[in-house]
Structure 1
């Protein structure tokens, strides 16, 4: 790493001292680090060098580096559409050949970990791709800057960190560049993978995936003979996930993204379990029958009547399986003051049971919020 000269300006904050080579943004000598658009004459050779690939049609790369806010030229949206699909297929081939014994569920998890918005956004930051993007979007610049700062200390091999929402534009750039290569090499998937694999490193492996908080939580509870249940509900635009072990809540997470809420809840639960081992799971304090689902609809109706809340509204969210073995998942929502509380239950063979499951989940959430 190059040595950094000291500035004679007033003392900067920690965020203002980031280095472009470390965190993938360009620092201009002002009081705030800014993301700067590069000229295409600089971008094309720089990216060809990064990829180790010379374009036959450089206009494809220019299009891949043009955001919709830059109205003077065609944006990357069509290429991003292709890139999303082709990267998924390339990763599918890779993990299928690398892990010949994995079942479809494990293969899907590995693929998802490698092409998630957050994973691709980290790739964009690591290789400074956003600085090459033609754009006219100051608000977007700020979001990218915040994400770059937030992940600056994270290890690259850790996927799905879940601590910050990744700007979609970063993943879009990676996908559009992938599509540009794919189209330029006459739709040769093998060539694309040979060119693009290095850019995506480190590839998430089965070993690193198994270190995820949710996976570790389930493995820990299975090993110790405990039952783990993760329940989701919504408050406005926020997703809330609660982790129950043997009926007792031991972790909670909140985020606009459902998966991030789940990850944060699993992290908290796992840490509590590890810190308090051996742990007593006393469920006697659970009111309304704890996580018991039988009669939950009636108890929720009684609670709403008691507090003069509107009646609960139930909805079938999902139906799976053949007609003779169909399973149902229901949601329930109620209004309290100006807020809407929504919760979904587990898959059940009868709609009535699915509604009871949803009601039970919502009752537990209300209990934790001291509404019940």
Structure 2
């Protein structure tokens, strides 16, 4: 019996080494990383998980710090948080099948993992895309990923850059700043939208028919409610519903637009760059950012193409203008296309 258990452990270690594409010098480290505290007379992953949490965060921080040298600390923190959340790490464990190799003697652990794995599988089959799934991610799965990362880190002689080289493929797809802005965490996004529009938001919880009910109040008025067996899912769903409602509540920018034609006969918003700045001031959005995309032609016949980037509470948008012979005209062209897009989607 003892020999069978040893062979099973050896097989698990070998399988996880294959997933990691890394061979341990001290295989006992990986064995510990795969052992739950419910297993008697065995060293569990708890000590490794203790250092795995900060080390994984440090490794991800190292990557983003080098990858985005101009990104502000606040944005770096958001990227890191998205990469090392319990949800993200648990899904990594499921994607690579790491949960199959965890040793434990606790039925509730297995039950929670099984429900989560089945929910993730159903999402893949249905094509569902959501910030979080219908079942809360079990912390044990995230702990295992952290413990494995810690085991690699220790086995590498505490070499942080080399750790990232080993675990990077596990962490993919890696969140980018654009993705984070386009798909922000609903609760965080809700509070940001309300703050930027001078509104006070509060989320209150209650119980109804053995379910948790999350109610979103804006300026002390009930906006939406959502219920779930789990508090965090009720809060998440309520935030999503509130964001849908708020898209109609945010006042439009009352800006008078004058349409005309440029030298090429293209219909455009006159003084578009100035008007776009005016819209951003009214909506309390950051100033639009203009960037040259193209600079071509001989000195006597230069041609320019500019793009404009606009950050809104719902996400960051970019629009390119037509090719023009003057920088000012190229910027106005980009701004004009952006304003027309804002009109089309009822932002103004």
**TM-score (normalised: structure 1):** 0.57
User: What is residue 204 of structure 1 aligned with on the other side?
Assistant: 175
User: What is residue 243 of structure 2 aligned with on the other side?
Assistant: 270
1:244 CA drift (Å): 3.9
Partner Cα distance (1:157, 1:241) in 2? 23
Once the two structures are superposed, residues 86-126 of structure 1 have per-residue CA deviations (whole angstroms, 9 ceiling, x without a partner) of 00111111222223333322222211111111111111111
User: What is residue 150 of structure 1 aligned with on the other side?
Assistant: 119
Once the two structures are superposed, residues 134-155 of structure 1 have per-residue CA deviations (whole angstroms, 9 ceiling, x without a partner) of 1111221111011111222447
Partner Cα distance (1:153, 1:79) in 2? 32
1:262 CA drift (Å): 3.8
1:129 CA drift (Å): 0.7
2:197–2:250 Cα contact (<8 Å) kept: no
User: What is residue 167 of structure 1 aligned with on the other side?
Assistant: 138
More displaced 10-residue stretch of structure 1: 66-75 or 254-263: 254-263
Partner Cα distance (1:204, 1:258) in 2? 26
Q: Note the aligned Cα RMSD (angstroms).
A: 3.3
Question: Structure 1 residues 260 and 178 mapped into 2: Cα distance closer, same or farther (>3 Å)?
Answer: same
Partner Cα distance (2:201, 2:14) in 1? 49
2:35–2:42 Cα contact (<8 Å) kept: yes
Report SS of the residue matched to 1:152.
helix
Partner Cα distance (1:173, 1:126) in 2? 13
Do structure 1's residue 108 and structure 2's residue 81 form an aligned pair?
no
Report SS of the residue matched to 2:121.
coil
1:159 CA drift (Å): 7.6
Larger Rg: 2
Q: How does 1:184-333 map to 2 (within 5 A)?
A: 184-210=155-181, 211-212=183-184, 213-214=186-187, 217=190, 226-235=197-206, 241-245=214-218, 248-253=221-226, 260-273=233-246, 277=248
Report SS of the residue matched to 2:200.
strand
Partner Cα distance (2:85, 2:119) in 1? 18
Once the two structures are superposed, residues 131-190 of structure 1 have per-residue CA deviations (whole angstroms, 9 ceiling, x without a partner) of 101111122111101111122244799784163211111001001100110000000001
Q: How does 1:323-362 map to 2 (within 5 A)?
A: none
2:30–2:151 Cα contact (<8 Å) kept: yes
1:219 CA drift (Å): 7.1
5+ residue gaps, structure 2, are 1-6, 252-348
Q: Pick the aligned partner of 1:63 from 29, 32, 37.
A: 32
2:24–2:155 Cα contact (<8 Å) kept: yes
User: What is residue 62 of structure 2 aligned with on the other side?
Assistant: 93
Question: Structure 1 residues 180 and 279 mapped into 2: Cα distance closer, same or farther (>3 Å)?
Answer: closer
User: What is residue 83 of structure 1 aligned with on the other side?
Assistant: 52
1:252–1:265 Cα contact (<8 Å) kept: yes
Q: Pick the aligned partner of 2:103 from 127, 131, 134.
A: 134
Count, aligned residues? 240
2:215–2:238 Cα contact (<8 Å) kept: yes
1:77 CA drift (Å): 0.4
User: What is residue 292 of structure 2 aligned with on the other side?
Assistant: none
Question: Structure 1 residues 259 and 140 mapped into 2: Cα distance closer, same or farther (>3 Å)?
Answer: closer
User: What is residue 295 of structure 1 aligned with on the other side?
Assistant: none
1:124–1:170 Cα contact (<8 Å) kept: yes
More helix per residue: 2
Question: Structure 1 residues 279 and 204 mapped into 2: Cα distance closer, same or farther (>3 Å)?
Answer: closer
